[in-house]
Each structure stands twice: as C-alpha cells, then as structure tokens.
Amino acid sequence: MAVEQTDYEEIPGVTLTDRNVISDFVKKTKAQDILNWGRKNSLWFMVNAMGCCGVELLSTGMAHYDTDRFGIIPRNSPRHADVLIISGYVTKKYLPALKRIWEQMPSPKWVIAFGDCAISGGPFYESYSTHQNVDEVFPVDVFVPGCPPRCEALIQGFFELQKKIEAKQDRGTEY
C-alpha cells in the first residue's frame, strides 16, 4: 500500500527533499570508505528460517559459532536487519511475503542466497510450487552452496560480503 505523496511546499518552514543529495555527494568522497567500514562490521541478519538451511542459520547465530564477535547479529524484525538470508526454496505462495520483508528492510541492505534451493532450486527445482531463479527477483550478493551448507560456510559468506562492501562492489548500494 503506497502512502500518498505529500506536497512538500505546503509545510511551512520545513525543507524536505525526495532525492538523496547528501548521500550521493558522500559517495564521491573518501567519507564513503569510513561509512562502508562501519557497515561491513555490523551486518545484522534477519532470522527467516525457510527450510533445512534455516536450522543451520539458527545455529550460526547462537552460542557455539557465535557470529556476534564479527558484528553479525541475528535480528527478528526486518526493520532492524541489513542482510536478508534466503534460506530455502521460495515457493509461489511465499514469494510475495518475502518481497514484502525485503521492502520493509531499510537501506543499505544485502541478500545472501543460502543453500542450493535458493541458488538453483536444489532438490526441488522441478517442483510445481516453487519459484525458480530467485536471483532475478532479489539482488543477491553472495551465494553459499551446500545442501544445507555448514555454519562455517555461512560465516565465510559473510566475509565475502564484507570484502565486497569494502571494495564497493556490492549490489545493495549504487556507487
């Protein structure tokens, strides 16, 4: 449901802009490097267990693997999260809900396709109810293969994402 656009000029004494002038300017300067350093060290991911990989997702965030030490913290609300982990087959019924979760997340945001189901369909690629080619719907930055991948693989995936953010090559932000 789109909120109706307010006519900005009608609010007296307030200057509002619908363009990201400041952030567009910052992107050209060295300050963006500092911003990216901050962003890459606080990748909060959203717990959205959608299948077998969801179990490994839960384990990764908890005591034994303890991703908190890298600043990677599980969050339950999409409003708090920076990283959406697609951790399983996306079905035709679930795709609208997943898109909505993605839209609720504030920018800058990234996507990790975790497990074979999210990457190519995995064992369920021929099913009548799954949605194929999820990478065309979401701007996926990192693919973590495996069925399901181990927790270490997810941590490695996060490292790859950090490297991409540092090199300004991630798909979440336009440089």
Eight-state DSSP code of residue 87 = B
Q: Identify the residue among 64, 103, 167, 174 touching another protein (CB under 8 A).
A: 64
Residue 156 binds another protein, judged by CB under 8 A: no
Q: Identify the residue among 56, 82, 141, 170 touching another protein (CB under 8 A).
A: 56
- Pairwise CA distance, residues 106 & 158, whole Å: 19
Site string for another protein, 79-118 (x = CB under 8 A): ---------xx-xxxx--x---x-----------------
Q: Where are the beta strands (DSSP E) in the chain?
A: 45-46, 74-75, 83-86, 110-114, 140-144
User: By the 8 A CB rule, do 139 and 111 touch?
Assistant: yes
Sheet holding 110-114, edge to edge: 74-75, 45-46, 83-86, 110-114, 140-144
Site residues for another protein per CB under 8 A: 47-52, 54-56, 58-59, 62-64, 76-78, 88-89, 91-94, 97, 101, 120-121, 123-130, 132-133, 147-148, 150
